[in-house]
Structures are given as C-alpha cells and as structure tokens.
C-alpha cells in the first residue's frame, strides 16, 4: 500500500476567478414611484479538482491549478538491454496565488 501524503477523503478542488462583469439596471421604484437603478454583477469562475500523482510508494498532492511536471532519465535495462525511461523527480508548482473566497465579498447562499 503506498504512503499517502494527503489526508483520506476527497479534496475540495479550487476555483479560478475569471472576473466580474457589472452593469447598471434601471427600474421604477414601487415605493417612491421614481426611477431608480442598481448594479447587477455576474461573477465567473472555472473549477479544477485536486488530484494525486503516484510516485514510487507515495502519492504527490497536486491542488487544482498547480502545474505538475516530471523530470525523466533514460537508462539501459540490465536484463533486456533495452533503454527505459523512468521518472526521477516530480515537481508541483503554484501557478496562481491563493486567495480566500471571502475576500471577494460575494454572499454565500444559506
């Protein structure tokens, strides 16, 4: 059984904030009878799940938008004499900075 470097259960994944579009909308206020306006905002996100990458006896955690790449090495198999490629190193790098979702001030539905 491989060693786990992440806790059991499913990781929540990550959202990539693509941006916000806002436009004003005019309406007639039924309380005052005057024309009024408000902002209508549309937030856009893209989701990416967390995964694990097997490496030897371990599982390497790759969070949603991290970038993973492998360094390989080619060597000759002593028994068959054929060349084999094997992974000698796995690198996981953070591409986008982490931001707490609450910092966007978007109300969370109850």
Average pLDDT over residues 55-61: 90
How confident is the model at residue 96, as a pLDDT?
86
Q: Residue range 35-48: average pLDDT? A: 88
Q: Which residues contact 76 (CB under 8 A, 6 or more apart)?
A: 82, 83, 84
Looking at residue 4, its pLDDT comes to 42
Average pLDDT, the chain: 83
Q: What is the structure's pLDDT at 11?
A: 61
Average pLDDT over residues 2-17: 61
Q: How many CB atoms lie within 10 A of CB 34?
A: 7
Q: Rounded mean pLDDT of 25-52?
A: 87
Which among 104, 95, 94, 107 has a CA at the least distance from the CA of 17?
Answer: 104
Each as own residue / partner, the long-range contacts of residues 49-52 (CB below 8 Å, 24 or more positions apart, any chain) are: 49/11, 49/13, 50/11, 50/12, 50/13, 50/14, 52/5, 52/6
> Would the pTM count as exceeding 0.75?
no
**In the predicted structure, residue 1 carries a pLDDT above the cut 60:** no
Task: Confirm if 84 and 59 have CB atoms less than 8 A apart.
Answer: no
How large is the average pLDDT for residues 41-46? 90
Q: What is the pLDDT of residue 77?
A: 86
């Amino acid at each position: 059984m491989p060693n786990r470097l992440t806790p059991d259960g499913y990781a929540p994944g990550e959202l990539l904030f693509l941006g916000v579009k806002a436009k004003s909308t005019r309406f007639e206020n039924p309380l005052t009878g005057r024309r009024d306006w408000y902002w209508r905002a549309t937030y856009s996100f893209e989701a990416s799940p967390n995964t694990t990458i097997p490496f030897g006896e371990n599982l390497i955690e790759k969070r949603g938008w991290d970038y993973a790449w492998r360094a390989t090495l080619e060597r000759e198999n002593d028994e068959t004499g054929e060349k084999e490629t094997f992974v000698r190193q796995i690198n996981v790098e953070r591409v986008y900075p982490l931001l707490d979702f609450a910092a966007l001030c978007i109300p969370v539905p109850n």
